[in-house]
Amino acid sequence: MLESYLDERLKERQVLLMTHLVVGYPTFEASFDLLTGMLEAGVDLVELQIPFSEPIADGPVILKANAAALAAGATVQRCLEFGERAAAASPVPLLFMSYYNILYKFGVRDFVAQMARIGVAGAIVPDLPYEEGAEYLSAMSEFARDPIFICSPNTSEARLANIAEHARGFVYCVARKGVTGSETRFSEELGSYLERCRRAIRLPLAVGFGVKSGQDVEFLRGRADIAVVGSETLRAFEHGGVPAAIELIRSLRTSRASP
């Protein structure tokens, strides 16, 4: 589903842009306004994070947004309703991102069925390895949704091959060990890691955890296919609202050259 879309999109530009928002932060209407701004700014994909009380892969900016959304009354059902409204309004694919406890408590197959019903293309579940994901993978296949798996700089060659076997759509390559939003060195060491990923994985590669500037996006050209901007978008939104988020995204967008 996602792979054919990405293949076509990559004919137009060398690095695509995926942004991230926490559904219900600071309110559901504000989340929708932010999504609308992201789409206006020309993003290629959007992650919709369903808030969770222990978002272990997330740094302080996104952790704070998760806590605030939950305190304001975000529930899984309300996030699914938001996803349905968002998918109806979005010309680009949307993905849910959350932690496995959300799917487990809701019912894995029921959750994936709801994703399919409302038109969300795939999911990122960072704490669910493929070895423990048989029910999830079966449901994602049944409903033709794409499971996005994650690798990191210390992922072995054998594990990269196994991730390539189970992933669909694209593979999310975290730029460093640790959580989102911290400083990342865009260096030859990162380039070597992405070369390893490219050799093992035929799917498009997304890179996140620390993408903040046009210079970072430029570094990824020829090394990866999708730049993921999460914490930095939320920082801009918190400091200057939707206009600041749009300005940031456009600055990243204009840095990317077409083939």
What does 68-106 look like in DSSP terms, one character per residue? HHHHTT--HHHHHHHHHHHHHH-SS-EEEE--HHHHHHH
Q: Percent of the chain, pLDDT > 70? A: 93
Annotation says 33 is catalytic: no
Taking a C-beta distance cutoff of 8 angstroms, is the pair 125, 172 a contact? no
Domain ranges of the chain: 2-253
Cα–Cα distance, 181 to 82 (Å, whole number): 25
Please state the φ and ψ torsions of residue 19, each to the nearest 5 degrees: -110, 175
What pLDDT is stored for residue 56 in this prediction?
Answer: 80
Rounded-to-10 torsion of CA 28, 32, 33, 38: 140
Q: Which residues in the chain come in under a pLDDT of 70?
A: 176-187, 254-259
Cα–Cα distance, 239 to 131 (Å, whole number): 41
Residue of 3, 40, 44, 47 with catalytic role: 47
Annotation says 47 is catalytic: yes
Whether omega before 26 lies within 30 degrees of 0, making that bond cis, reads yes
**CATH superfamily assigned to domain 2-253:** Aldolase class I (3.20.20.70)
What pLDDT is stored for residue 176 in this prediction?
Answer: 57
Taking a C-beta distance cutoff of 8 angstroms, is the pair 95, 46 a contact? yes
Cα–Cα distance, 89 to 111 (Å, whole number): 21
Q: How many CA atoms lie within 13 A of 45 on its CB side?
A: 29
Please identify which residue in the block is written with the tokens 């995926």.
Answer: 18
Q: How many CA atoms lie within 13 A of 39 on its CB side?
A: 15
pLDDT in tens, 42-63: 999 999 999 999 888 788 899 9
Look at residues 64, 60, 124 and name the one whose alpha carbon lies nearest to residue 98: 124
Number of C-beta neighbours around residue 154 at 10 A: 9
What pLDDT is stored for residue 258 in this prediction?
Answer: 40
Cα–Cα distance, 174 to 49 (Å, whole number): 17
Pairing status of strand 122-124 against strand 94-97: parallel
Cα–Cα distance, 83 to 77 (Å, whole number): 10
What pLDDT is stored for residue 185 in this prediction?
Answer: 56
Residue of 3, 8, 58, 135 with catalytic role: 58
